[in-house]
Amino acid sequence: MWALSLVMAVCAGLAGGLAVLRNPGVRRAKTLFAGARVDLRGQVAGWATVRIFLERRREWLCAPVAALLAVLGQSVLPLLAGAVAVPLVRRWMRRRVQRSERERAADAVTALCGAVVGELRAGREPGQALAVAWRRTGAPGVSESAVAAAARFGGDVPDALRQAATGPGLDGLAGVAACWRVAVDGGAGLAAGLTRLESAQRAERRRRDELRAQLAGAWSTVVVLALLPVVGLGLGAALGADPLRVLLHSPGGLACLVTGGLLEAAGLFWAARIVRAGEAE
């Protein structure tokens, strides 16, 4: 009897499930929810695209700022200034990215020296040690076939290293090539030479970081001085003086705006030149 009841319950459950699945309202609800999920995914993808665009094209943030100033000041001059600022900001950001890439490449060369020394002390042959260390660290922007293949198949490793050293930030590979040439021709210890080269590169990195930390105060002063005119405009607007109308719609204001902009640009250029000279030294 209980078996018959169980079979009837299972059949009733299946029938109810089929009825629900065949219900047009349920299918319509599923379609709507599926559409909502698609719309949500589309919105997320759209925001992700915008975020990636802003990360890669941050210089275009000057455009909405210029548009806002143009609306507030009722003038096209901020739009022209924004159009000029976009390529300048792009150039500045590109230089920052290139400097960061050079530093990453130099760090990769330092790590390569340490990895090769570790493989040599573990008992590997120089060619095998370089190939394994190159696969583990790898200098950015350098093809593995240029150096690791030469080391793996007995090619001219110093020549491959010197060719790879022409890339930005890869000057340390020329030192690795010199150590390799001395070790092959003169029988000197390759591990000892790479250890000294690694120590020298780490010392150079520490010196650069210390110098950058010391120059951070100078850069902060430059930024504060550059923002003082903006603060003055904000104070004038808060006091009801309407500085944008005076600067953008009167001959005296336009003369003051052009003169102040030129002096501001000259001051920033001179300060940046002083700081760059300190970094170069």
SS3 per residue for 89-153: HHHHHHHHHHHHHHHHHHHHHHHHHHHHHHHHHCCCCHHHHHHHHHHHCCCCCCCHHHHHHHHHC
Structural domain includes residue 11: no
Residues in CB range of 180: below 8 A, 6 or more apart: 126, 157, 158, 161, 190
Note the pLDDT tens digit of each residue in 3-29: 333 334 434 444 444 444 444 444 444
198 is a domain residue: yes
Task: Convert the pLDDT of each residue in 46-75 to its tens digit.
Answer: 555 656 655 567 788 888 888 888 888 888
Q: Quote the number of domains for the chain.
A: 1
- Cα atoms found within 13 Å of the Cα of residue 6, Cβ hemisphere only: 3
d(CA 196, CA 176): 11
Q: Please indicate, yes or no, if residue 251 is contained in any of the structural domains.
A: yes
In residues, how long is the chain?
Answer: 281
Indicate whether 56 belongs to any domain. no
DSSP state of 76: S
Domain span at 244? 63-280
* CA atoms of 231 and 278, how far apart (whole Å): 29
- Give the pLDDT band (50/70/90) at residue 202: very high
Give the Cα-Cα-Cα angle 14, 19, 21 (nearest 5 degrees): 95
* Residue 182, in any domain of the structure: yes
Within-domain flag for 98: yes
Residues 137-189 have pLDDT tens digits of 765 555 555 677 777 777 788 888 888 888 888 888 888 888 888 887 655 68
The mean pLDDT value for 192-209 works out to 90
Please provide the average confidence, as pLDDT, over all residues in the chain: 76
- For a pLDDT cut of 90, what percent of the chain falls above it? 4
Q: Could you tell me if residue 88 is inside a domain? A: yes
Name residue, tokens 């943030």.
61
Buried b (16+ CB within 10 A) or exposed e, 227-246: eeeeeeeeeeeeeeeebbeb
| Domain annotation covers residue 20 | no
Q: Provide the residue type at 268 as one letter.
A: L
